[in-house]
A and B are shown apart, each in its own frame.
Chain A
Amino acid sequence: MAPTATPKRLSLSEWFKTITFYEIFVGMKATLSHLLNYRPVTLQYPHEKRTLPDNYRGMLALLRYDDGTEKCVGCDLCEAACPSRVIRVVSAEVPGEPTKRYSKEYYMDMTRCLFCGMCVDACPVDALGMTREFEWAVYDKRQLHLDKQQLLAIGDRSFPIREKRLELQHPNVAFFNVPFKHVPPKPN
């Protein structure tokens, strides 16, 4: 035989609360108090935008030095660091300068990017940056396959202040652009 549920005995106050719909009135009081102290949490998004945090990780971009040359040295470390294989780099020698390399082609498939920022961390010359752009809805998915010129354009519009070339920076800045912590940076 299936166990029959024994009806719980209500105390007098519980019984009184049941017949007077006490809980319902408590709930209605709560909703009414929200109506009277109307403080909406809504942000009217296209019209007003929330402040982004300082370390916001938005759209990726390729950066330039202040003389307009690309920072990227075509080392492929970003491609290696990327967990979702967003980046594809085709590296090549700089014509006429056999010791220097650059990225001949640079592709990003932003449909797959998860904005972890590992490529930015991996880059030895700080050639990649994360902008604060996030409104990248498109009608065609293929518009999110970005090439080098598009990524440089994003970098140009998001980072107007550019770094000097490495050899013109403070001498204590190491080759890989990691400052020594015990030496204060020299003012420009």
Chain B
Amino acid sequence: MSEFGLRLAISLTQIAAVMGIVVVTVLLLTLAERKVLGWMQDRMGPMEVGPYGILQPFADAIKLFFKEDIIPAGANKFLFTLAPILCLIPAFIGFAVIPWGPNWTIEVGGITVKPFVISDINIGILYILAFASIGAYGIILGGWASNSKYSLLGGLRSAAQIISYELNVGLSIIGVIILTGSLSLVKITDAQAGWFWNWYLFALPAPQIFAFVVFVISSVAETNRVPFDLPEAESELVAGFFTEYSGLRFAFFFLAEYANMVLVSCVAAALFLGGWNAPYPGTILELLGAPSLAWVENIMWFAVKAYSFLFLFFWLRATLPRLRYDQLMKFGWKVMLPIALANIVVTSIAVFITQ
């Protein structure tokens, strides 16, 4: 096999593995969200399909697959078809640069491969932000192409919201980038090795706690989750931008929302909470004499961090009511943006003094 063929095969294997994990996580999340919300509200959540309702995601998937796919009469067919794809692909494509495990290299047929990251590109975090912005197009175009007032209103809201809050996401990340001096997520994660006070959330000389809060709030807003779910406000806009969508296209939007949640959780874990690093130096499995299995522990730590973020998403949804539109904008521009900017200044000064 040629070198190119081998590289392609390895990359495709990695992509398939990551896609599989993400899709399984999304399936899990749809059930977990309904269960957790139910438990928090003294309900039971889905209980009918399978024992304790654990087969509910499969029932939902089957239902969505076999539903009639309706394109409204006045809709722009091309954009209507394009929008869900435009929403889904950026949500999945961001996982290409997420480091899931230790920064190892292995030799496969004369090629060095990093098994725990699909592609370690040196602009990793910029790449994720760029594609997240393309995902916004999917929402806006879907809202416009549906030829429905509710969809259009949802799309407009999401346009304004995503533009305002993406700014805050970008600015809150800059502190971490200044501390690391790199945009690569692999390097950022590596720089946080050791004890948990080396994580950028707590790290000296400039703890990024405020940036972290801004990032979490803004990423909730960016994934259109409660309390910032104005684009799909079901009590005002039927279902917002995907009012007119049904069947598989609706499933695409749904999948994209959850994949975005997973992506944002992974980014938050990698940037602020040390990614796959354990809160103690090294790994326990290494001490027990199995250094070749240390990656299991690292991946487990990454999963714990990412899943606790996902739980936070559910928790917020169970607790908070939706913000009003002007409150959302005021909060984004008058509160989050100054904090993020001040964080950049403080971090820069601290880094300049200590170096």
Q: Which A residues have a C-beta under 8 Å from some C-beta of B? A: 24, 27-28, 30-32, 34-35, 38-42, 44
Can you offer 8 A-B residue contacts whose CB atoms are under 8 A? A27-B320, A28-B316, A28-B319, A31-B40, A31-B315, A32-B315, A35-B39, A41-B42
- Central interface residue in A31, A34, A39, A44, by most chain B CB within 10 Å: A31
In the complex where A24-B320, A27-B320 touch, is A32 in contact with B40 (Cβ < 8 A)?
yes
Chain A residues, CB < 8 A from B43:
40-42
Partner of B42, one of A27, A28, A39: A39
User: Judging by beta carbons under 8 Å apart, are B315 and A34 in contact?
Assistant: no
Q: Would you call B41 an interface residue if the criterion is a C-beta within 8 Å of the partner chain's C-beta atoms?
A: yes
Taking A28-B319, A32-B40, A44-B44 as known contacts, 12 extra A-B pairs with beta carbons closer than 8 A to each other, sorted by chain A number, are A27-B320, A30-B319, A31-B41, A31-B315, A34-B39, A34-B40, A34-B41, A34-B42, A35-B36, A39-B42, A40-B39, A42-B42
Assembly CA distance A49 to B344 (angstroms) = 60
Q: Indicate whether A38 sits within 8 Å of B39 (C-beta atoms), given known contacts A44-B44, A44-B47.
A: yes
Tell me, yes or no, whether B318 is within 8 Å of chain A by CB.
Answer: yes
In angstroms, Cα B41 to Cα A35, docked, is 8
A27 with B319: CB separation less than 8 A? yes
> What distance in Å separates the Cβ of A70 from its nearest Cβ neighbour in chain B?
43
| Chain B positions 314 through 325: 1 when the CB is less than 8 Å from some CB of chain A, otherwise 0 | 011011100000
Partner of A31, one of B44, B47, B319: B319
Contact A35–B40 (Cβ < 8 Å): yes
* Contact residue among B36, B44, B315 (Cβ-Cβ distance under 8 Å from A42): B44
Among A27, A30, A35, A38: residue with most chain B CB under 10 A = A35
Q: How far is the CB of B52 from chain A (nearest CB, A)?
A: 11
B212 to chain A, nearest CB (A): 13
The chain A residue sitting closest to B42, CB to CB, is: A41
A24 pairs with B44, CB closer than 8 A? no
Residues on the B chain within 8 Å of A32, using CB? 40, 315
- Let me know if B42 and A31 touch, CB within 8 A: no
B36 contacts across to A, CB distance below 8 A: 35
Bound-complex Cα distance A31 to B318 (A): 7
Which residue on A lies nearest to B339, using beta carbons?
A19
When chains A and B are docked, how far (Å) is the Cα of A88 from the Cα of B154? 55
Nearest CB of chain B from residue A115's CB, rounded to whole Å: 29
- Measured between alpha carbons, how far is A31 from B44 in the docked complex, in Å? 14
Residues of B within 8 A of A31 (CB): 40-41, 315, 318-319
Tell me the complex Cα distance, A41–B39, Å. Answer: 10
Contacts of B39 in A (CB 8 A): 34-35, 38, 40
Write the chain B residue with the least CB distance to A36: B39
Q: How far is the CA of A39 from the CA of B38 in the complex (A)?
A: 11
Cα–Cα, bound, A50→B318 (Å):
27
B38: which A residues are within 8 A, CB to CB?
Answer: 40
A34 to B44: give the CA distance in the assembly, Å.
Answer: 12
Complex interface residues of chain B between 5 and 62 (CB less than 8 A to chain A): 36, 38-44, 47
- Who on chain A is nearest to B36 by CB? A35
- A31-B315, A32-B315 known; A40+B320 contact, CB < 8 A: no
How many angstroms from the CA of A38 to the CA of B37 in the assembled complex? 12
Q: Chain B residues with Cβ under 8 A from A35's Cβ?
A: 36, 39-40
B44 touches A28 (CB 8 A): no
A27 to B316, CA, bound (A): 9
Contacts of B40 in A (CB 8 A): 31-32, 34-35
B42, A24: Cβ atoms closer than 8 Å:
no
In the complex, A42→B38 CA distance in Å? 10
